[in-house]
Amino acid sequence: MNASSTAKGGSGIDLSRIKRGPIVVALIIGAFVSILNETLLGNALPDLMREFAVSASTIQWLTTAYMLVIGVLVPVTAILQQWFTTRQMFLSAMILFLIGSIVAAAAPEFGVLLIGRVIQAAGTGLMLPVMMNTILVIFPPEKRGGAMGLIGLVIMFAPAIGPTISGLILDSLSWRWLFYLVIPLAAFSVAFAAVYLKNVSEVTKPKVDILSILLSTIGFGGIVYGFSKSGEIGWSDPEVYWSIIAGGIGLLLFVWRQLIVKSPVMDLRAFKYPMFSLVAVLMLVLMMTLFSTMTLLPMFLQFALFMTPFKSGLTMLPGGVVNGIMAPISGKLFDKFGPRVLVIPGLVITVLSVFLFTTLDETSSMGYLIFIHIVMMIGLSMVMMPAQTTGLNQLPRNLYPHGTAILNTLQQVSGAIGTALFISIMSNGQKDYLNTSSDPSSPLEQAKALVSGVNNAFWIGLVIGIVALVVGLFIRRTKAPEGENYGGMGH
């Protein structure tokens, strides 16, 4: 331990002399690279199937394995952050990510590419909670909104431009360039963080409960795996329902274990704080809507409106850009006015946009689609970061790593569940339509079948959105518990 991290004030680390700017920049570069990578590959899957001569269900593993690793790793980050310093965690995460990118770029066969993706995912899974936790530690509650808004800009903007960038690259270069591009960015992030990132968290080295980690892996892993496979092999497949059952049992045992051990891996006492619990529910519901829209829209654009991957990426770009611009603005407004002013109107706008999505058909214009997508992204940017910041602000400092781990885990799990749910609703709607069709093999009928399936999925999305709106009505501004020092500065 270095001199600057010896005990100062209540928190053990003196934060009054830390330069926040470079730390935030280091975090943002790392986040941008690793999150961009999640959506870069989507457009390349058809090329990869041809190159490695594998089926659609095999290629899906590039996405499924990525989500699985993150879903399994994130719950464990709370305990890791008490064992390792901020620098050790972040640098390990980015170095892992860099190694994964190099392995994937050079992959001679599918298996090696998959290993590269898994190593990348391990980096991403370690980094996201560290990033949020660091922001909570270095900013006082009244300035957090703006800082979280910057992180929100990255979390929303990177996946939005992913499909457009990959469409551009794939039009003229090989899929390997998707990884070549990321390598220098990741290397820069490692170098920058090595210079500027400071240790801000306290290393307490609590006892690690191996059983909890096992249960968490079975629980979250089983659920994410089961739901992500369901879209591909159907709900009636034993592999799907047994994974979900095993995951459910693992989760229940994990929760029970966390409540009885002295130093839990994921401290569920965070749920004793009502606003945190409310936000956890809100995030669960919202992420289902967000992930499923991100999955359904490109399918609709490419298979119902017959756009190229590049054009469908361009259609979704304005929404992503608007969201990126809105995130810091809503962060600043949050600091000034609190959550209600943003979250409730934001949820109303989101529900309205999902309703408009139910009106799409094969004659919808590109302009109309861009408009609805922008409306949705404005709504989400008013809700996502302000709600998360509100929930985390209510926690005492020792629960920050647990709070961020809980919210990040919920997002991964609900993303997997949402995507699976909406894709299966869409496929069933498609089948039902084709069963009643007089000419099921004609391209026009197939496009109409897809439209019918997508509309069904968005109607369910609308119901889920209304649930989120009802939950959101109860949100309030929160304060940290009494007697909590902020960073030893007595804020």
| Element at 351 (helix H, strand E) | helix 340-357
Q: Is residue 3, in this structure, part of any structural domain at all? A: no
Number of domains in the chain: 3
Assess if residue 8 is contained within a domain.
no
Residues 6+ apart with CB under 8 A from 21: none
Asked if 223 and 124 sit in the same domain, the reply is no
Q: Which domain holds residue 319?
A: 270-485
**Are 240 and 329 part of one and the same domain?**
no
pTM listed for this prediction? 0.79
Instruction: Look at residue 490 and tell me if it is in a domain.
Output: no
CATH code (residue 51): 1.20.1250.20
**Cβ(487)–Cβ(11) under 8 Å?**
yes
Domain boundary (157, 188, 203) is at: 203
In a domain, 9, yes or no: no
Q: Which of 262, 278, 298 is the last residue of a domain?
A: 262
Q: H or E stretch including 232?
A: helix 210-233
Q: Which of 45, 23, 10, 31 is nearest to 93 (CA)?
A: 31
CB 240 within 8 Å of CB 229: yes
Residues 471 and 405 in one domain: yes
* Residue where one domain finishes, among candidates 203, 220, 240: 203
Q: Tell me if 2 is assigned to some domain.
A: no
Could you tell me if 240 and 197 lie in one domain?
Answer: no
Shared domain for 248 and 319, answered yes or no, is: no
- At a CB cut-off of 8 Å and minimum separation 6, what does 208 contact? 79, 83, 265
Quick check: helix, strand or coil at residue 164? helix
Each residue's pLDDT tens digit in the chain (491 positions)?
Answer: 343 333 333 445 666 677 788 888 888 888 888 888 877 787 777 778 888 888 776 777 787 788 788 878 888 888 888 888 888 888 999 999 999 999 999 999 999 999 999 999 999 888 888 888 888 888 888 888 888 888 878 877 787 778 778 878 887 888 899 899 889 989 988 898 888 777 777 788 778 788 888 888 898 888 888 887 776 677 788 888 899 999 999 999 998 998 888 888 888 888 999 999 999 999 888 888 777 777 788 778 877 888 877 787 788 888 888 888 888 888 888 888 888 999 999 999 999 999 998 888 888 888 999 999 999 989 988 888 888 888 888 888 888 888 888 888 888 788 777 877 887 788 888 888 888 888 878 888 888 888 888 888 889 888 988 999 999 998 888 777 765 544 433 33
Residue with token string 């594998």: 54
Residues 6+ apart with CB under 8 A from 265: 75, 76, 78, 79, 208, 209, 212, 213, 216, 258
Q: Are residues 222 and 303 in the same domain?
A: no
Are 21 and 100 within one domain? yes
Note whether 322 and 307 are same-domain residues. Answer: yes
Query: Is the separation of the CB atoms in 350 and 465 below 8 Å?
Result: yes
